[in-house]
Structure 1
Amino acid sequence: MKLSANLGFLWTELSLLDAIRAAAEAGFDAVECHWPFDVSPNAVGAALDETGLPMIGLNTVRGDMERGDFGLCAMPGREAEARAAIEQAVAYARAIGCSAVHAMAGKSGGGAEAEAVYRANLEFACATAGDITILIEPINRRDAPGYHVAAVEQAAETVSAVGRANLKIMADCYHIQVGQGDLVRRLETHLPMIGHIQIAAAPSRAEPDEGELNYPWIAGALAAMGYDGYLGAEYRPRNGTETGLGWMASIQSL
């Protein structure tokens, strides 16, 4: 089972370039990040070449942080901003050889108008991305009140409605468990639509070695289902990244 280090949460005390190197030294198979746009793509690409790690995902920008934005793609009236964010993320991903972009929906509160805007922006994203995968992520509304996509089933309905081969679901096990539960059944039901899976303990969002989810068992179940992608480690370390990596061996050995 292949593991990816999410550098939005891991090694945050380091620069992005040094965090890529730290992930390689720790034995991760890939890296992903949130918003790398203040770092030169040439420098990031060089660090990826140096370590041999692929970058498998990055996010579109959140928007205006003072307004509380958490994505733009499902926000009516802000289509121009959303599409500029999509173009920025796709261009950066293409420059560094990154295989996927997470198109952040935003805190629309839901509703038909927001969903129509979301689908139109996702159509634009998929057309712009070409061979890059566009990901959408259900995020639980305890952590992100009002987020447009809160359920796996809603994400699946959107993917089906848009109907683009390069639109997939990013299934974060933490968010699904906190927001919905019945995690493994939901992963199995929607596996053909899932482009990436992320892991963290629930309910703490710490290292994936405590709490309600048994990740070695879940990883084995995913392997049995035929999942051959990465598990993205997107958790908040309890006491620094380096001291909390003991969980990796039990999953990489599968």
Structure 2
Amino acid sequence: MTTFSANLGFLWADLPLPDAIRAAKAAGFDAVECHWPYDTPAEHVAAALAETGLTMLGLNTLRGKAGENGLAALPDREPEARAEIDRAVDYARRIGCGSVHVMAGFAEGDQAHQTFLGNLDYACRAARPHGITILIEPLNRYDAPGYFLRTSDQAASIIAAIPHDNLALMFDCYHLQIMEGDLSRRLAAHREIIGHVQIASVPDRGTPDHGELDYRHIMAVLRDLGWERPLGAEYKPQQPTDQTLGWLPVLRSV
């Protein structure tokens, strides 16, 4: 049976994070993940996780200044990028979160590439003592024009260049269907470096039960590849979250 994680950056986003965790448990999710939890004291999140028995799978580094989308590939911003990596790793440690998505930001070129490599090396070293995995995620050119990391092959090349085994690919089916398509082969090609999989419909980023992707097929591919971890439901509800969950029992039974 497939298991699912609720991404609380989008689902129950109107609730305080501890209450969103409780709502996810009541709705039948198996885990949770989030974007930027830092305004909520870590002890409050840890208490809600302990109360519900859910695990927080991942969180993001902060985006930076207004209009930015991460700092890790921005030349000459290393001190800020590494301060945000430290903040994210410490928060993850305090709530028992297993991974941190290090956001690259808007950049291009070789200098950005080298900056990203250096900051990822720093992140992996900071995260290792706490058993935390560092994730990188390609974003599509429509939602995030100018984002440094755009494709799964680019991510694979970066991961191969980093001498740490706690760096992995966040395979967001929504973003990668838009950028590359052919997800069955993409999943198979990169299976060994995938640390997390996220789902949403394409092209509207709604519930994962319509649009270009048949997630029944995607789940069968993942099952054949030996994937056993929760899939992250990172979609944008068009109505209150509890009214959008008809897909959950259907896909869970696939």
The reply to whether TM is greater than 0.5 is yes
* Partner Cα distance (2:182, 2:238) in 1: 26
Q: How far, CA to CA, are the matches of 1:72 and 1:177 in structure 2?
A: 25
Q: Map 1:26-65; keep pairs closer than 5 Å.
A: 26-65=27-66
Given that 1:142 and 1:179 are in contact with CA atoms closer than 8 Å, whether structure 2 keeps it comes out as no
Percent identity for Structure 1 against Structure 2: 54
- Write the distance in 2 (CA, Å) between the matches of 1:174 and 1:163: 29
By how many angstroms is 1:229 displaced? 1.6
TM-score normalized with structure 1 length: 0.97
Instruction: Tell me which of 113, 119, 122 is aligned to 2:120.
Output: 122
Partner residue in 2 for 1:85:
84
Amino acid at match of 1:9: F
**Match in the other structure for 2:23:** 22
What displacement does 1:127 show? 0.2
What does the per-residue CA deviation read over 1:152-205, in whole Å, with 9 as the maximum and x for residues that have no partner?
000000000013100000000000011111111101110100000000000010
Aligned to 2:75: 76
Q: Give the letter aligned to residue 123 of structure 1.
A: D
Match of 2:183 in 1: 183
**1:48-78 alpha-carbon deviations (Å, 9 max, x no partner):** 000000000000000001xx11000000010
| Counterparts of 1:238 and 1:185, CA distance in 2 | 31
Aligned pairs for 1:159-238 (under 5 A) are 159-238=159-238
Number of residue pairs the alignment of both structures matches: 251
Q: Name the amino acid aligned to 1:40.
A: P
Return the alpha-carbon distance in structure 2 between the equivalents of residues 191 and 94 of structure 1.
26
Across the aligned residues of Structure 1 and Structure 2, the Cα RMSD in angstroms comes to 0.7
State the 1:97 CA deviation. Answer: 0.2
Q: Using the TM superposition, give the Cα deviation of residue 32 of structure 1 relative to its aligned residue in structure 2, in angstroms.
A: 0.3
Q: TM-score, normalised by structure 2?
A: 0.97
User: What does 1:91-106 correspond to in 2, within 5 Å?
Assistant: 91-106=90-105
The gaps in structure 2 that reach 5 residues or longer are: none
Q: What's the CA shift string for 1:86-114, capped at 9, x where partnerless?
A: 00000000000000000000011x21100
Structure 1 unmatched runs, 5+: none
